[in-house]
A and B are shown apart, each in its own frame.
Chain A
Amino acid sequence: MSVNAKDLQTGSNDPLWVRTTVITISVTFVALMLVLPLGVIFYEAFRKGLSAYFKAFQDRNAVRAITMTCLAAGIAVPLNLIFGIAASWAIAKFNFRGKGLLIALIDLPFAISPVISGLIYILVFGMQGWFGKWLEAHGIQIIFAVPGIILATIFVTFPFVARELIPLMQEQGSEEEWAAISLGANGWQTFWRVTLPNIKWGVLYGVLLCNARAMGEFGAVSVVSSNIRGGTNTLPLHIDALYNDYNSVAAFAMASILALLGVVTLVGKSLLERKLEQESISSLESKTTEVS
């Protein structure tokens, strides 16, 4: 019976009104809170036509903001990638003192407000900070300059790769690595030929999320940025400045880039999630008992 088949598909015998209500609430909420604002961004950006939209990108300050954002992400993401792989390797494959503390500390940037993350760097490297005098004497400026933006970005995006890899590597264990080593592979060969291929989708997933956050971060970079147009403004800061100037078309045009980045991240994320799921299924399969 087709009715029964439909019931089986939904996997539920709840009455119709329950299903309808729950689905309506979810869909309406997503539409109002997520899809509508995203639509508004593009609507506002193109409200005065294509030429007005593209004019926003010809502005020197806009180009500078995009460059700054790419620079900050371009440095923060690779560094956190290296750190994330090293940390998850250490946590998953070795036992050492302070391991619990390291795991807890990795989550620190998730736990504290991004504004605090920015303030920490001002307290350390700012004029009145611990190293302020020494840095000034050597002509190095970190706060209200590019290095500060990069440091703040690194700080807030620090956990993404590690968080993704730790459970994955813990689940996989270290037997394959031991097998490689017993066959005569050195550490480097073991890493490139055995470990990395096993975690590659997890790495990509972490990098994707890390990059999205690095490019979109507002709070932390806002504290350490000079907020000078064409200076150390990143894209989110530039959008904020444009909007405060009532230049809404330019602001929304810039915002559309970040929104697009978000959409691309989302699509990439779902594709990678599917890959990761397959990977963990196959790693489970290889551990189950089978008949020859």
Chain B
Amino acid sequence: MSIEIKNISKSFGSFTALKDISLKIENGELISLLGPSGSGKTTLLRVIAGMESPDPNPDSQVLFFGEDVARKPVGDRKVGFVFQHYALFKHMSVFENIAFGLRVRPRSQRPAESAIRDKVHSLLNLIQLEGFGNRFPKQLSGGQRQRVALARALAIEPQVLLLDEPFGALDAKVRKGLRDWLRSLHDELNTTTILVTHDQEEALEVSDRVVVMNQARIEQVGAPDDVFHQPASEFVIDFLGNVNVFHGRVNQGQPVLENIQVGGSRESIPDGEKANVYVRPNDISIDRTPTGKSSMAAIVTRINRAGVHAKISLELSSKEEIRVDVSMEQLQELHLQLGDSVFVHPNKARVFVPDFTI
């Protein structure tokens, strides 16, 4: 089902958590709210769930399938909410945790005991924890607990699944496994899902669309591809993975760095404006000799071979440090050693001139 948020603001005292947010979420979509802590992503999720009420404003609306739910209590919204720290009921077995949402229904809507049992068993099957029904939460690992929390949320057949940093408390390996599992689960169930995360890799890998948030606002909304390759702002490019930043100036409509031109040009920008040039580590090549006019001299200060790519740190003549990723083959061809003098040149750069985004 589609969810539409219109002109939502939320402040806690003098702190503004959300500033005039509007967002449309399509039916069956898996969308991530990505941002650093304090960016407002969790508050937005809680507003959608009904756990926080937005600041009163006649224009603000939270629409579930066209129906304004802004005044509907949490329990009536049919949302499945999954918390970072699981929030499983400690004193109940896994079975009772999952059955909870069915058991608390008014008598007239409550399924029969046998129907509840069937439902819980099919969910236990779905989360690959058959035979764990009698265990208690503290007897499970973190990853298992979060799967139980997800099954508990799914038991009420929610219209939308809201996940608040669901893998944040798990270690890297488990997190990766659960992320893939969540994606395949979503492909199977097609429940509209909103995932809050501060892990850019998680957001880019799992979602259909990513909403990048910063300081109570939405910076960019787009497919993972788009936000990664066409970042709309300096914040987005900086937040989505490692990036080198150079501070240059505009000369004759072109950003200039150490008298070297990078990136495209735009006539309309006056000379002398500051230009920030962003280059991803894998968009820089290293050569023994200068290639063309955009090469910069640099000295190798560190080589890290642990990984799929080698991570090279270099120091420019301006004392700025840059990071370059090269493949292991390239590293061998170049015979790089610490202290070597080399030339680097950016193959692809994104330039932001504050107030004149290129």
**Residues of A in contact with B (beta carbons under 8 Å apart):** 175-176, 178-186, 189, 193-194, 197-198, 282-283, 285-292
Select A193's contact among B85, B104, B144, beta carbons within 8 Å.
B104
Look across to chain A and name the residue whose beta carbon is closest to the beta carbon of B137: A286
A175 & B85 in contact (Cβ 8 Å cutoff) = yes
Q: Indicate if the CB atoms of B80 and A182 lie closer than 8 Å.
A: yes
Interface window among B18-26, B86-94, B187-195, B335-343: B86-94
- A and B contact pairs by CB, cutoff 8 A, 12 listed: A176-B89, A179-B152, A182-B81, A182-B153, A183-B75, A185-B104, A193-B89, A198-B90, A287-B169, A291-B142, A291-B143, A292-B142
Residue among A183, A184, A198, A285 facing the most chain B CB atoms (10 A cut-off):
A183
Of B170-178, B249-257, B296-304, B313-321, the one touching chain A: B170-178
Let me know if A180 and B100 touch, CB within 8 A: yes
Name the distance in Å between A243's Cβ and chain B's nearest Cβ. 48
Cβ of B83 under 8 Å from chain A: yes
Contacts of B137 in A (CB 8 A): 286
Q: Is B14 an interface residue (CB 8 A)?
A: no
CA distance A181 to B78 in the complex (A): 10
Q: Are A292 and B152 in contact (CB under 8 A)?
A: no
Q: Is B105 in the interface zone, CB < 8 Å from A?
A: yes
Tell me whether B104 and A184 are in contact (CB under 8 A): yes
Cβ B169 vs Cβ A285 within 8 A: no
* Cβ contacts under 8 Å, B90 to chain A: 176, 198, 282-283, 286
> Among the listed A179, A186, A292, which residue makes an inter-chain contact with B83, where contact means beta carbons less than 8 Å apart?
A179
Q: How far is the CB of A279 from chain B (nearest CB, A)?
A: 8
Given A175-B85, A178-B81, A186-B75, are A290 and B142 also a contact pair (CB < 8 Å)?
yes
Chain B residue with Cβ nearest A176: B87
Q: B83 touching A175 by the CB < 8 A rule?
A: yes
The 5 closest A-B pairs by CB, nearest first: A292-B143, A183-B101, A175-B87, A290-B142, A185-B104
> What would 7 more interface pairs be, CB under 8 Å, given A176-B90, A180-B89, A182-B81?
A176-B89, A179-B87, A189-B104, A286-B137, A286-B145, A290-B141, A292-B178
Q: B159-184 vs A: 1/0 string, CB under 8 Å?
A: 00000000001110110011000000
Q: Which residues of B contact A287 (CB under 8 A)?
A: 85, 169
With A180-B100, A180-B104, A182-B75 as contacts: A291 and B85 at CB distance below 8 Å: no
Contact A194 B89 (CB under 8 A): yes
What CA separation (Å) do A291 and B89 show in the bound complex? 20
User: Does residue B63 face the partner (Cβ distance < 8 Å to A)?
Assistant: no
Residue B51 interfacial (CB < 8 Å): yes
Residues of B within 8 A of A175 (CB): 83, 85, 87
Q: Is B156 an interface residue (CB 8 A)?
A: yes
Number of interface residues of B (CB under 8 A): 39
Tell whether, in the assembled complex, residue A181 and residue B75 are in contact, meaning their CB atoms are under 8 Å apart: yes
- In the complex, what residues of A have CB within 8 A of residue B100's CB? 180, 183, 185, 193
Decide if A285 touches B138 in the complex (CB within 8 Å): yes
Question: Which of B51, B89, B178 is packed against the most chain A CB atoms within 10 Å?
Answer: B89
> Quick one: which of A182, A288, A289 contacts B74, CB cutoff 8 A?
A182
B81 touches A179 (CB 8 A): yes
Q: Is the CB of B104 within 8 A of A186?
A: yes
A292 contact set on B, CB distance < 8 A = 141-144, 170, 174, 177-178
In Å, the complex CA distance between A254 and B143 comes to 59
Q: Does B49 contact A (CB under 8 A)?
A: yes
In angstroms, Cα B170 to Cα A194, docked, is 25
| Contact status of A286 and B86, CB under 8 A, knowing A182-B81, A183-B156 | yes
User: Are B138's CB and A286's CB within 8 A?
Assistant: yes
B74 touches A181 (CB 8 A): yes
Partner of A183, one of B91, B104, B144, B178: B104
Q: Which residues of A contact B152 (CB under 8 A)?
A: 179, 183
B30 at interface by CB-CB < 8 Å: no
Name B75-127 residues within 8 Å CB distance of A.
75, 79-81, 83, 85-91, 100-101, 104-105
Which residues from B are CB-within-8-Å of A183? 75, 100-101, 104, 152-153, 155-156
Q: How far is the CA of A7 from the CA of B279 in the complex (A)?
A: 62
Contact assessment for B79 and A182 in the assembled complex, using a CB-CB cutoff below 8 Å: yes
Checking A176, A178, A285, A289 against B171 with a beta-carbon cut-off of 8 angstroms, the contacting residue is A289
Q: Nearest-CB distance from B140 to chain A (Å)?
A: 8
Select the residue from A185, A283, A286, A287 with max chain B CB neighbours within 10 A: A286
In the assembly, what is the distance between CA of A181 and CA of B51, in Å?
A: 9
| A287 to B87 CA separation, bound complex (whole angstroms) | 9
Taking the closest CB of chain B, its distance from the CB of A175, in whole angstroms, is 4
In the bound complex, residues from chain B placing their C-beta under 8 Å from that of A193 are 89, 100, 104
CB distance from A211 to the nearest CB of B (A): 25
Inside 8 A of B170's CB, which chain A residues have their CB?
A: 289-290, 292
Instruction: Please state if A289 and B142 are interface contacts (CB–CB under 8 Å).
Output: yes
Residues of the B chain whose Cβ atoms lie less than 8 Å from the Cβ of A197: 89, 91
Q: How far is the CA of A134 from the CA of B275 in the complex (A)?
A: 83
Task: Give the residues in chain A near B138, CB-CB below 8 Å.
Answer: 282, 285-286
Chain B residue nearest to A281 in the complex (CB): B138
Contacts of A285 in B (CB 8 A): 138
B43 to chain A, nearest CB (A): 14
Which residue of chain A has the shortest Cβ distance to B147 in the bound complex? A292
CB-based contact A178/B105 at 8 Å: no
Chain A residue at minimum C-beta to C-beta distance from B149: A179
Chain A residues, CB < 8 A from B177: 292
A176 to chain B: which residues have CB within 8 Å?
Answer: 87-90
Q: Which of B75, B85, B143, B145 contacts A184 (CB 8 A)?
A: B75
The distance from the CB of A124 to the nearest CB of chain B, in whole angstroms, is 38
Chain A proximity mask over B270-293: 1 for CB below 8 Å, otherwise 0: 000000000000000000000000
